[in-house]
Amino acid sequence: MTKNFNTLFIILALACAAYAQITVPQQATAGESATLTASSGGTLYLIGPGTAIKRDVKSGEVTLSADDLAYAGRYTAIVNGNAQSLYVSPAKPQKLSFMARPSRVPVAQPNVISGAVFVLDHNDNLVTQPGAVKFELGVTGQAPVSQSVPTKDGIAYIRAASGKREGPAQFTASVGDIVVRRIVQQVASDPCNLRMKAQRSGNDIAVETEPVRDCSGNPVPDGTIVTFIETTNEHGKSTVDARVKHGIAKAMLPAQPGATLTVASGVVLGNEIRWGGQ
């Protein structure tokens, strides 16, 4: 009789274990605790991204800590061979990984500045829920240019024109109150409206440009090459390369009556002077 009772008990226990139920929450968020329900006690396994937990649990509610569910993805909870899966979503944005290029750029150039942002939560999960990143670009003393870009699968990117004023431009990306800044040094672009004057200096001609500026009025950096060209029918063409110093380029050319003097920098041509020997 006792033997039969023991056998029945074992069969019932096995049947209970076989029908043990585990209920997982419909929704869970990475880095937040969650509760699952086990209809019988036993060993709980929780397998998921960054997680491989094994612990004994009693029947009833089982709390999974914020650390147990740190990472977004699919988790499988197993109790007594009964398994249920749950998807843990990324949490709210907490970090921005902002890549901005280049660090130095000429002013007033279209689509030369690029920025890409990965939106992450506090555990570095990519926040794939739709959102928006606000990009701003501007130099001190000027209203920044601003654009809101929707994220797609955790990424937002922008291509922007450089501003008209030289100087360190603040390039920022923000989501809510999370702001990340990068500095893009805007430098003067190619010279524009290049003009020179010439005067006799002994047996030579002293040529000198007016302050060399780009088309936005920014002085070009010192060291920019300016080429002075002297052309005569008798001697042909001779050139002198001079570097801009304190905004101005200077050179000496041999004084030859009837010479044509021109000035150029890069692809920009300046004014022309006919040297009459004065």
Which residues of the shown chain bind other proteins in the complex (CB under 8 A)?
45, 47, 49-54, 71-74, 76, 78, 81, 83, 85, 87, 89-90, 99, 101-102, 114-116, 118, 120, 123-126, 128, 152-155, 157, 159
Scanning the structure block, which residue is given the tokens 């570095």? 124
Apex CA 135: angle with CA 132 and CA 136, to 5°? 150
Q: Which is nearer to other proteins, 41 or 219 (CB)?
A: 41
Decide the pairing of beta strands 204-209 and 250-254. antiparallel
Instruction: Return all residues near 8 (Cβ < 8 A) that are at least 6 apart.
Output: none
Q: Which is nearer to other proteins, 154 or 270 (CB)?
A: 154
Q: Which is nearer to other proteins, 90 or 270 (CB)?
A: 90
Smallest distance, other proteins to C-beta of residue 84, A: 10
Smallest distance, other proteins to C-beta of residue 151, A: 11
CA distances in angstroms from 87 to 25, 43, 81, listed in the order given: 9, 21, 19
Q: Which is nearer to other proteins, 102 or 258 (CB)?
A: 102
Smallest distance, other proteins to C-beta of residue 121, A: 10
Smallest distance, other proteins to C-beta of residue 155, A: 6
Buried-state track 22-32, b at ≥16 Cβ within 10 A, e below 16: bebeeebbbbe
Smallest distance, other proteins to C-beta of residue 222, A: 29
Q: Among residues 210, 216, 161, which one has the least CA distance to residue 188?
A: 216
Q: Which is nearer to other proteins, 155 or 206 (CB)?
A: 155
CA-to-CA distance for 241 and 230, rounded, in angstroms? 12
Q: Which is nearer to other proteins, 1 or 52 (CB)?
A: 52
Q: Looking at residue 194, what DSSP letter applies?
A: -
Smallest distance, other proteins to C-beta of residue 152, A: 8
Q: What's the length of the chain?
A: 278
Q: Among residues 11, 16, 12, which one has the least CA distance to residue 40?
A: 16
Are 226 and 209 spatial neighbours (Cβ–Cβ below 8 Å)?
yes
Smallest distance, other proteins to C-beta of residue 179, A: 20
Q: Which is nearer to other proteins, 184 or 249 (CB)?
A: 184
Instruction: Return all residues near 262 (Cβ < 8 A) that are at least 6 apart.
Output: 228, 229, 231, 269, 270, 271, 272, 273
Q: Looking at residue 188, what DSSP letter applies?
A: -
Smallest distance, other proteins to C-beta of residue 115, A: 8
Q: Which is nearer to other proteins, 71 or 266 (CB)?
A: 71
Q: Looking at residue 121, what DSSP letter applies?
A: -
